[in-house]
Amino acid sequence: MTAVQPKPTSVGETFDSLSPATDEVVGTYPVHSAEDVRATVESARVAAEWWDGLGYAGRADRLRQWKGVITRRLPQLCQVVRDETGKPIVDAQLESVLAIEHIAWAGKHARKILGKQRRSAGLLMSNQAATVEYRPLGVVGVIGPWNYPVFTPLGSIVYALAAGNAVVFKPSEYTPGVGKWLVDAFNEIVPEQPVLQLVTGFGETGAALVSAGVDKIAFTGSTATGKKIMAAAAQTLTPVVIEAGGKDPVLVDADADLDAAADATVWGAFSNSGQTCIGVERVYVHERVHDEFVAKVVEKSRDVRAGSDEDAQYGPVTMPSQLAVIRRHIADAIERGGRAVIGGVDSVGDRYAQPTVLVDVPEDSEAVREETFGPTVTIAKVRDMDEAVDKANATKYGLGSTVFSKSRGMELAARLRTGMTSINAPLSFAGIASLPFGGVGDSGFGRIHGPEGLREFARPKAVARQRFTAPIALTSFNRKESTDALVVKLITILHGKR
Ligand code: NAD
């Protein structure tokens, strides 16, 4: 086995972005220093005011135009994604199409969700008019991963922009070219001010962004980095949204459509070489259909292959260091009594990992407990769906989940401790722009997408306006004893009932 050099390589003030399929240099980018990042954030502050001043309609119009440019140049964007991640063009297209839907949704709905709303002032304060409006935070720092370099960072960037913020974006060091492409396309549509800016580099550049005086950090990446970012952000009380890793389960009930469930498992586990935060990593199957389900998964997995040719279903493992993790999880599972019904340790090469399906793996092994982030899946037999729910929930992560059941889908979904669940189809929640996306526990907190995603990048501003002088003045030293007595009477009538 030939050792693959870690990617990318730092050369002085620049670094190279390499194709994980060929190791060819596909771009060279600056390593931005802490000073560079600070200056970028400062210039973003002026841009933020200008962008806010455009109002909802002005911003919606620019977002609409940006989405048009991305859509018309989709083949070009997909090629950049393929160059830097090695994933098939059709997969790059799928993530880009979903991201375009999000741009459309956020631009269209921002005013309705964030604009001024009246609230009831209540009986005691009925002389007041109460309103709330969601104002932009200012400058948002977005730190992205490489696995879905279009869909994932745009999930934060688009909602932050639609809410009226300027954004400084630090893409992964593995996909700086994709980040640059997206930012350049935006700046063609918004040439007046640097509303969306790019800084590139490694973890240090990301860390510099966290301490550069931004008003919020939206981070997507590993749980370990999320913890570091939160600790650093605590020094300045900078709020954070953390979209971290997962160990997503699929539950297959006795009455499930087994073909559909097997298809979803195979695609959810192996597509993008398993490098999907909401990818399928574990399956819990009712004992009555377990063997049939495993047979279907095995059969469907035989048609799936990693490679760089046009016919391959997925590409290389983007981050070479991940190959060792995948190998270790499979080896540990097998050593502890698990069986590989497809693949095994030898399926993990020095660039590509072929599919692996594991059964009889102890629940406390790494393959079940830790994020593998590779094309592997464990399948376990359960007595009933209560056991499936208990096992699915017995994890520190809680990002996505999937339930296959004809009669109990909604009930089982409600019992899963995850931020999102899709029923009878894989990962559907990610493509529905109106649904919030995010996790619990080690998967992070805060939400992108949907109304919650817009509010994540805004601060509620509450205003109470006195419409007329109240007959009973409560907030004055001049109030009479009779006023206090009247208040007690009123509150007893309103709230004192047994
Ligand atoms: P990573 O944590 O290694 O890096 C993510 C980003 O953080 C990169 O841009 C990196 O340069 C930056 N970074 C590294 N150290 C930093 C520091 N100390 N301060 C600030 N920034 C720093 O993650 P990755 O390998 O790029 O991505 C894979 C992980 O992302 C997986 O765990 C996956 O599950 C997760 N992910 C989660 C979601 C989600 O929405 N929850 C989506 C996609 C990926």
The pTM of the full predicted model, rounded to 2 decimals, is 0.95
**What is 118-145 written as a DSSP string?**
EE---STTTTEEEEEEEEE-SEEEEE--
Measured between alpha carbons, how far is 161 from 168 in angstroms, rounded to an integer?
11
At residue 251, the 3 state secondary structure works out as strand
Query: Which amino acid is located at 200 in the chain?
Result: T
Among 10, 142, 143, 156, the mutation site with the greatest number of ligand 1 atoms within 8 A of its Cβ is 143
Please name the residue whose Cα sits nearest to atom 30 of ligand 1: 221
**Atom 42 of ligand 1 has which residue's CA nearest to it?**
277
Residue 52: count other Cβ atoms within 10 Å of its Cβ.
Answer: 18
The answer for residues whose C-beta is within 8 angstroms of residue 116's C-beta and 6 or more apart is 131, 132, 133
Q: 3-class DSSP state for residue 420?
A: coil
The C-alpha atoms of residue 158 and residue 93 are separated, in whole angstroms, by 18
Give the chain's length. Answer: 498
**Atom 41 of ligand 1, residue of closest alpha carbon:** 243
Asked if residue 170 lies in contact with residue 203, where contact means CB atoms within 8 angstroms, the answer is no
Ligand 1 pocket test: which of 98, 172, 210, 281 has the largest number of ligand atoms within 8 Å of its C-beta? 172
Measured distance CA(209)–CA(142) in Å, rounded = 9
Predicted local distance difference test score (pLDDT) of residue 102: 98
Atom of ligand 1 nearest to the CA of 171: 9
Ligand 1: nearest atom to the Cα of 245? 34
Contact of 198 with 180, CB cutoff 8 Å = yes
| Cβ < 6 A, ligand 1 pocket | 143-148, 152, 170, 172-173, 202-203, 206-207, 210, 220-222, 225, 228-229, 243-246, 277, 319, 371, 373, 399, 439
Distance 83 CA to ligand 1 centre (A): 20
- The pLDDT of residue 476 is 87
Residue nearest to atom 15 of ligand 1 (CA): 203
DSSP assignment, residue 480? -
In the chain (498 residues long), the average pLDDT of successive 10-residue segments reads: 40 86 96 97 98 98 98 98 96 97 98 98 92 98 98 98 98 98 98 98 98 98 98 98 98 98 98 97 98 98 94 93 97 97 97 97 97 98 98 98 98 98 96 97 98 98 95 83 90 92
Residue 183 Cα to ligand 1 midpoint, Å, equals: 19
* 3-state class (DSSP) for residue 223: helix
**Structure tokens of 169?**
């974006």
Task: Name the pairing type of β-strands 444-445 and 458-466.
Answer: unpaired
**d(Cα 446, Cα 419) in Å, to the nearest integer?**
10
Could you identify the atom of ligand 1 that is nearest to the CA of residue 174? 26
Tokens read off for 377: 């899946």
At 33, the amino acid letter reads S
Q: Nearest residue CA, atom 43 of ligand 1?
A: 277
Pairwise CA distance, residues 77 & 69, whole Å: 10
First to last CA, the chain: 76
**Ligand 1 nearest atom to the CA of residue 148, by list position:** 43
CA dihedral 114, 118, 124, 126 (to 10 degrees): 150
The structural domains of the chain, ordered by start, are 14-245+448-459 (3.40.605.10), 248-396+400-432 (3.40.309.10), 468-495 (no CATH)
The catalytic site residues sit at 243, 277
Predicted confidence at residue 149, as pLDDT, reads: 98
